[in-house]
Amino acid sequence: MTNPFFTPSPLEFGLPPFADIHDEHYAPAFERGFAEHAAEIDAIVNNADAPTFENTLIALERAGQTLSRVAAVFFNKASADSNDVTNALEEELAPQLAAHSDAIRLNPALYERIREVHAARESLDPESRYLVERYYAEFTQAGAGLGQAEKVRLTELNQQLSTLTTRFEKNLLADTNELAVVIDDVAELEGLGEGEISAAAAAATERGLPGKYVITLVLPTGHPYLASLANRSVRERIMTASRSRGAHGGEHDNHANVLQITRLRAERAALLGFATHAAFVTSDETAKTPEAVHALLSQLAAPAARNARAEQDALQALIGDEFELAAWDWAYYSEKVRKATYDVDTAEMRPYFEAERVLRDGVFFAATQLYGVTFTERPDLVAYHPEVRVFEVQGDDGSVVGLYLLDLYTRDSKRGGAWMNSLISQSALLEHPVIVTNNLNVPKPAVAGAQGASVLDTAPALPTLLTYSEVTTLFHEFGHALHGLFARVTYPKFAGTNVFRDFVEFPSQVNEMWMLWPEVLANYAVHYETGTPMPADLTSKLQASAGFNEGFATSEYLAAALLDQAWHGITADSPAIDGVAEFEAGALASVGLDNPAVPARYSSTYFAHTFSGGYDAGYYSYIWSEVLDADTVEWFRANGGLTRANGDRFRARLLGVGGSVPPLEAFIDFRGRAADIGPLLDRRGLNA
């Protein structure tokens, strides 16, 4: 069989030949990839020559190319466009991948070779020396120094966990689709715009429910439509469905998975010499200890809860005695308070946030002003799904930076949330170019043509108008994309966003600042029908209200971050946990974030970040990175803002180094000092 993964892609930029890739190619490619990689590792281990940087570390960096090619494409598809075949194969692959990784990281002879090179590392150049240090630290943390019996048990644990986390994700996707809210009467959608209603109608048609309306669920607890829907009963139905995911019994229930995952992670941590899984994870992050994480989160929790209570009182005052404010009411009435207080209605902004203008004249424009890069759409290049758009990125000197793929719209085959992936990561050693993707979950308006036409048949009949939150998300995810596009490193291990988990969100959060930067906002915030710019007074009012509702936003986030820490703070000998809901309630009560009107951003049974997404004991990363982000925003403001000089400095000293420099060293090199928490406290209104 001719398999497109068996050789490097012949296409421009090394773009995977998606037109030639079919489901039947994945399993054989993984099989060959595993075998080739294992043989390459054996060759390193059995090399009779004394260990050197070249015959050990360089050889490791060159190994596993077939496996890397198929894994990058497969796991992007499994997240963005899954089907029954990929779902089944992903579950089958999970323990195999864990076993393959363990066979490498727990290989005593390989560890000894790395240890010897590590002992002689001082003669190497800085990037090579850091590569050796990272390999040695990661192998050590992974258990390479354990005895054989412990390694056997560790391998069993890793395989079980890989299966459980994959199952958690598949349950969540299935339940998210099944619990989508079906509306019979368009009158119940009062408050939504024409495009949103059109998207709900299109979603219903795709599900074989013509004449009805389907509101698909998003990953967080809340839903963007809750801010607009006038019908309280519909708001309640959406919130109830959201919070029921993985928690209502049946074949997609995640209660058992949560309990098993946390128990096995605690056992593995103990086996590796750590008190808890949180201690295991943070030991190789910039935080270093869970105590440092708790110190930050605890410092913020009390004032955030206090501010949320004050906001709640204001909302209740608006409602009066008619009913008690519930979680599904918060977004709707907070918009009313925002309008009454600041004369700002974010729903009024949607006509100014047409997706194409936001992308080209906002997101791309800011990048061009800062970094001199330009974006040319390449419709001749085939992506992994018909809705995915491909852009060639060039420097101001005409040099090729890489490819950027945008997958904007939601679909039942795509997991919730928004993210960035690398299909190919730049590496001078392997002479690799770079291709990155951004995935969002924006509802797609109905298409032109006959009733019942596929959403892929034509372009949307109505423009895609983004919510304020969706615009923020697009700028955020594009910050990750820039990190991946700009990193220029020698070794694959340091490519793109391969930095510590509690640092990776920093560049993406910095990029959010340009959304409301006056020069950028004026360039893209244009009414989609009239072409008139967003009124200047609306812009100024929006900026004046930037701190509005921060008590709620900070509290819901911290509740999830502290819940993640609580699950991963249990020890191997802790008493068995009988109920997920009871544990969650106790964890939130203990930190004063158990306000029913402010539910955690994610509840345990649909907390994909921590139970399937790689942020286990690391969801704190967003606010940990925001300390750096807020301080960096202050630097940009103090140094002239949106200028090439500022962009070039940020690109050269931070984005461009990828993971080749310890991240906090890169930050200090850019900022000139360590980060100050003051700007974060000011931004979130937590100083008083």
Beta strand 419-424 with 435-442 is antiparallel
Helices (H) and strands (E) in the chain, counts: 27, 7
How confident is the model over 282-318, as pLDDT tens digits? 999 999 999 999 999 999 999 999 999 999 999 999 9
How confident is the model over 58-103, as pLDDT tens digits? 999 999 999 999 999 999 999 999 999 999 999 999 999 999 999 9
- Residue 441, pLDDT score: 96
- Band of residue 337 on the pLDDT scale cut at 50, 70, 90: very high
How confident is the model over 528-549, as pLDDT tens digits? 999 999 988 887 887 788 789 9
273: pLDDT strictly greater than 70? yes
Residue with tokens 């994610």: 602
Phi and psi at 230, nearest 5°, equal -80, -25
Q: Could you say which DSSP state residue 4 is in?
A: T
450: pLDDT strictly greater than 60? no
What Cα–Cα distance (Å) separates residue 606 from each residue in 237, 254, 474, 496, 612? 17, 8, 23, 28, 10
- Residue 452, pLDDT score: 39
Amino acid identity, position 186: V
Q: Where are the beta strands (DSSP E) in 451-582?
A: none
- Residue 346, pLDDT score: 83
120: pLDDT strictly greater than 70? yes
- Band of residue 451 on the pLDDT scale cut at 50, 70, 90: very low
281-295 as b/e: b if 16+ CB within 10 A: bbbbbbbeebebbbe
Residues belonging to the chain: 688
Q: Say if residues 387 and 407 touch (Cβ distance below 8 Å).
A: yes
Q: Say if residues 416 and 428 touch (Cβ distance below 8 Å).
A: no
- Residue 537, pLDDT score: 84
Tally Cβ neighbours within 10 Å of residue 131.
27
Show the DSSP H helices in 214-322 as ranges: 232-244, 255-271, 277-282, 290-319
Q: Say if residues 462 and 456 touch (Cβ distance below 8 Å).
A: no
Stretch 472-501: mean pLDDT, rounded?
A: 97
3-state SS track over 321-340: CCCCCCHHHHHHHHHHHHHH
249: pLDDT strictly greater than 50? yes
Beta strand 181-183 with 213-215 is antiparallel
How confident is the model over 592-611, as pLDDT tens digits? 999 999 999 999 999 999 99
Stretch 153-180: mean pLDDT, rounded?
A: 97
57: pLDDT strictly greater than 70? yes
Q: Where are the beta strands (DSSP E) in 635-683?
A: none
Q: Say if residues 70 and 5 touch (Cβ distance below 8 Å).
A: yes
Rg (CA), the chain: 25
Q: How far apart are CA 504 and CA 333, in angstroms?
A: 34
Query: What are 95's two structure tokens?
Result: 């323990």
**CB within 8 A of 534, min separation 6: which ones?**
349, 352, 521, 522, 525, 526, 527
Q: What is the DSSP string of 543-555?
A: HHTTTTTHHHHHH
- Band of residue 455 on the pLDDT scale cut at 50, 70, 90: very low
457: pLDDT strictly greater than 80? no
Please state, rounded to an integer, the average pLDDT across all residues of the chain. 95
How confident is the model over 371-418, as pLDDT tens digits? 999 999 999 999 999 999 999 999 999 999 999 999 999 999 999 999
Stretch 647-671: mean pLDDT, rounded?
A: 98
477 is catalytic: yes
Q: How far apart are CA 415 and CA 173, in angstroms?
A: 6
- What sign has the CA pseudo-torsion 553, 555, 556, 562? positive
Q: Which domains does the chain have, with CATH numbers?
A: 1-105+107-145 (1.20.1050.40), 179-244 (no CATH), 351-544 (1.10.1370.40)
Q: Say if residues 529 and 462 touch (Cβ distance below 8 Å).
A: no
- Residue 530, pLDDT score: 95
453: pLDDT strictly greater than 80? no
Q: Which of 142, 97, 139, 95 is nearest to 118 (CA)?
A: 139
Q: Which of 267, 477, 556, 626 is catalytic?
A: 477
Share of the chain above pLDDT 90, in %: 93
Q: Which of 342, 344, 316 is nearest to 329 (CA)?
A: 316
* Beta-sheet strand order (sheet of 435-442): 374-377, 389-394, 400-409, 435-442, 419-424
Angle at CA of residue 606, ends 602 and 611, nearest 5°? 100
Q: Which of 407, 456, 414, 455 is nearest to 177 (CA)?
A: 414
Q: How far apart are CA 662 and CA 500, in angstroms?
A: 9
Q: How far apart are CA 99 and CA 93, in angstroms?
A: 10
- Band of residue 459 on the pLDDT scale cut at 50, 70, 90: low
Q: How far apart are CA 510 and CA 71, in angstroms?
A: 30
Residue with tokens 């043989």: 39
- Band of residue 11 on the pLDDT scale cut at 50, 70, 90: very high
